[in-house]
Structure 1
Amino acid sequence: MKSLYTVLLLTISNLFMTFAWYGHLQFKKYAWFSTLGIVGIILISWGLAFFEYVFQVPANRIGFDENGGPFNLFQLKVIQEVVSLTVFTLCAVYVFKTDKLGWNHLVGFALLVAAVYFIFKK
């Protein structure tokens, strides 16, 4: 169950991270946001990043093997990267609609799956 909570919390965390890091690039579509200066955009991004950490910190604490979780640090990091790239890809293609998924992305994701395999191999 801790594995599921860890991945779920990391997924929610990465939704906030994606919008904190890349969401402001979509602000030009909205009149109010397009008038903000860089300081305003940074403050909004920091506000979103706060919620990223609200979910990310408990995910890692729950999932870490020295806290009774199922994952070591390497495993937690690889899970986070795969979740991050998955969430980012879905947002870029379906929410931001800025990019299309290409064959090279699929090859890259296959290599990430291979990385997960090797990191989890005992």
Structure 2
Amino acid sequence: MSLSYPALAPIVLLSLSNVFMTFAWYGHLKFKAAPLFVVVLISWGIAFFEYWLAVPANRIGHQVYSAAQLKTIQEVITLVIFAGFSVFWLKEAISLNTVIGFCLIAAGAAFVFKG
């Protein structure tokens, strides 16, 4: 499989959408004093933009990948984005056990792409 537009575009779009979704789901953890209803409304607002990236990513990606492959790509991207987010935004260290666990998930994901 070459890295043509239909093959690469969903990966880029899913990566961008995941940045939005990670902030929607976890960004508020730095602001524990904010009322929950405010956090939920802000998170919904952020997630709105995530959908504008994720839905086209899956539409374009389904021309090249199966739905299971798209979901697997999204999950691996989630782990990578979350690891960076955790370190740089939340200032939480990534433990060796977390790295090993993420690698095992990635190894499982590789089986989805095996012929």
TM-score by length of 1: 0.84
Post-superposition, which runs of at least 4 consecutive aligned residues in structure 1 deviate over 4 A? none
Matched residue pairs, number? Answer: 111
Runs of at least 5 residues in structure 2 that lack an aligned partner in the other structure: none
1:108 is the counterpart of 2:112? no
- Match of 1:60, SS state, is helix
- Match of 2:64, SS state, is coil
Q: What's the RMSD between the two structures over aligned residues? A: 1.2
TM-score by length of 2: 0.89
Identity of aligned residues (%): 48
Structure richer in helix, relative to its length = 1
1:1-122 pair list within 5 angstroms: 1-28=5-32, 34=33, 36-64=34-62, 69-97=63-91, 99-122=92-115
CA deviation vs aligned residue, 1:57-82 (integer Å, no higher than 9, x gap): 00000001xxxx21001101111101
- Match of 2:31, SS state, is helix
